[in-house]
Amino acid sequence: MKSFRRKEYTPAEVMTFKNKISRQEIEALPQGFFQGNIHLIDRHSSLKEAVEFLSRQKILGFDTESRPSFRKGQHYAVSLLQLATDHDAFLFRLNRLGLPPSLKKILARSSILKVGVAIHDDLGKLNGLQAFEPGAFHDLQHMAGQYGIEDRGLRKLAAIILGIRVSKAQQLSNWEGDELTPAQLRYAATDAWVCLAMYRRLTGQSEEE
**Contacting residues for 176 by C-beta, under 8 A, at least 6 apart:** 67, 76, 79, 95
Buried b (16+ CB within 10 A) or exposed e, 8-30: eeeeeeeeeebeebeeeebeeee
Q: Nearest-CA neighbor of 202 among 152, 131, 165, 133?
A: 152
pLDDT band at 122 (very low <50, low <70, confident <90, very high): very high
pLDDT value of residue 7: 44
pLDDT at 2 over 50: no
What pLDDT, in 10s, does the model give residues 144-180? 988 889 888 999 999 999 999 998 888 778 899 889 9
For the sheet with 113-116, list strands across it. 37-41, 88-93, 78-84, 59-66, 113-116, 137-139
- What residues pair up with 39 in beta bridges, in sequence order? 90
Q: How does the average pLDDT of the chain come out, rounded?
A: 88
pTM across the whole model? 0.89
pLDDT at 208: 57
pLDDT of residue 11: 43
pLDDT tens per residue across span 15-53: 788 899 999 999 999 999 999 999 999 999 999 999 999
Percent above pLDDT 70 for the chain:
89
For the chain, domain boundaries: 13-67+78-203
Architecture of domain 13-67+78-203: 2-Layer Sandwich (3.30)
Q: Is the pLDDT of residue 204 over 90?
A: no
pLDDT category at 207 given cuts 50, 70, 90 is: confident
pLDDT band at 70 (very low <50, low <70, confident <90, very high): low
Predicted pLDDT of residue 4 = 41
Average pLDDT over residues 112-127: 94
